[in-house]
Amino acid sequence: MDLSMTTTAFELEGYKVTKTLGIVRGITVRSRSLFGTIGGSLQTLVGGNITLFSELCEKTREEAFDLMIAHAVERGANAVIGVRYDATELMSGVTEVLCYGTAVIVKAT
């Protein structure tokens, strides 16, 4: 699926939804490594962007997004609308990230 066919909006400009295939999701659960936790803690002493945690968050969101896209393709979708993220801390240092949206088939208008 072309990634330009995903949006947080509920329509794609220039396209018409012809079929709704239902909710699709990608879920990943990540934990910080001991070294990442120590490194991140040290970065908090200096202040500013904590790059170790930012990179972990970005990789985790990307993985959840990719899993959502794979789920949509399995269902036969060529687009996903209403894309959202959610995160839940399952336990200290362990976080679930969910990326979800509505799988659809669209045609150019």
- Pick 3-31+63-108's CATH classification: 3.30.110.70, 1.20.1630.10, 1.10.1060.10, 3.10.20.30: 3.30.110.70
If you average pLDDT over every residue of the chain, what do you get?
87
Asked if residue 96 lies in contact with residue 28, where contact means CB atoms within 8 angstroms, the answer is yes
Output the pLDDT for position 106: 98
Q: Look at 45 and 9; give whichever has higher pLDDT.
A: 9
Spatial CB neighbours of 50, under 8 Å, sequence gap ≥ 6: 40, 43, 44
Q: Average of pLDDT values for 24-37?
A: 75
pLDDT of residue 48: 61
Tokens 């209403």 found at? 82
Whether residue 33 has pLDDT greater than 60: no
Q: Are 1 and 105 in contact (CB under 8 A)?
A: no
The per-residue b/e assignment along 16-39, b for 16 or more CB within 10 angstroms, e otherwise, is eeeeebeebbbebebebeeeeeee
Tokens of 2: 């072309």
Only one residue has tokens 């959840």, namely 64
68 vs 41, which has greater pLDDT? 68
- List the one residue out of 72, 102, 100, 77 whose CA is nearest residue 10: 102
**Which of 1-5, 24-28, 54-58, 76-80 is predicted least confidently?**
54-58
Percent of the residues in the chain that have a pLDDT greater than 70, as a whole number: 82
Q: Cβ distance 36 to 59 under 8 Å?
A: no
